[in-house]
Amino acid sequence: MDEMDLEGLDSVVGLSDEDRKHAGRDRWDPFKGEKDKSYRVSIASFYPIDIGVKLALKGKHDAKGTKPTKEEFQATLAKVLAKRAEELGKPVDKLEPYEKLDLKNVLFHKWKAYYVPDGVGYVKDRSDVEPDEIWQRLGDVKKYFTCLLLIYTDFNKDRFKNYSLQEKEASIDFRLYRMGPGMYEELISKAQGLRENHLSIANQDLSFKCKDAKYQSFAIEAAGPAIWQADEQLKKSCLKRAASYYDKLCPFRDISVVELKQ
């Protein structure tokens, strides 16, 4: 039997092309904190179900030293999607992209990038697909992680619960969040702490207090259940909006070796 296609798993912490739909803003500002200011946020990037199935099967087979097959992947995915469709009371082929997300698991993208002076800025590392000595001349490659943050821009818990749906939507924004390994490890620690208390970071709000605006260092604390998920209509609206940004989570220029040499 043919082995299951693992395309997409090398650079994820998970996302599939199926979900790369819906045009969002062509340009948008990443999340940046102001020193000593606190922000109530929620991680709003989730695994598409097909990526989740691939990761689960890969983990299962890695433990046994075997490889998942395409047939096993397709059968497992069909079963999971059928269950989701049954829960939502609609046919599988009518599921929208935001309805095919694994809301139990948040995802991050991992990247490597170089800083190129003279107005070029940060450039995505392409040395694996375009080997060339120019990459070595750019200096040290840096590791980054990105996710999508849902940010409450006007939040007062008592006032928020009395807002109309439109008012709630207007008080929520989405931003790309780029971080280095240090902040990523901080989030891992917070997620572990939540799991130890039988909670998941996927359905919790977080408090980000900016400690250093230059280096975008934050003190992160759990802030309670995700407010946006408590209202089903708001949850649906936010997931649709979030999905429109899932193909915009790379903050680096993706340019070729030829362009770099010009």
* pLDDT tier at 129, thresholds 50, 70, 90: confident
Residue 4 lies in a domain: no
d(CA 13, CA 45): 10
Residue whose C-alpha is closest to residue 187's, from 207, 168, 160: 207
Residue 10 lies in a domain: no
CATH number at residue 124: 3.90.198
Burial class (CB in 10 A: 0-12, 13-18, 19+), 227: buried
Higher pLDDT, 39 or 121: 39
Residue 1 lies in a domain: no
- For residue 183, pLDDT over 90 is answered with yes
* pLDDT tier at 11, thresholds 50, 70, 90: low
- For residue 7, pLDDT over 80 is answered with no
CB contact set of 227 (below 8 Å; sequence gap of 6+):
42, 152, 155, 157, 160, 205
pLDDT, tens digit (0-9, with 9 covering 90-100), for 206-247: 999 999 999 899 999 999 999 999 999 999 999 999 988 888
Q: Which of 10-14, 132-136, 150-154 has the lowest mean pLDDT?
A: 10-14
Residue 6 lies in a domain: no
* Domain tally, the chain: 1
Q: Domain range for residue 235? A: 17-261
- Residue 237: what pLDDT? 94
CA distances from 211 to 109, 183, 240 (A): 24, 12, 32
- Residue 261: what pLDDT? 82
Residue 12 lies in a domain: no
Residue whose C-alpha is closest to residue 27's, from 245, 258, 256, 260: 245
pLDDT, tens digit (0-9, with 9 covering 90-100), for 77-102: 999 999 999 999 999 999 998 999 98
d(CA 117, CA 138): 9
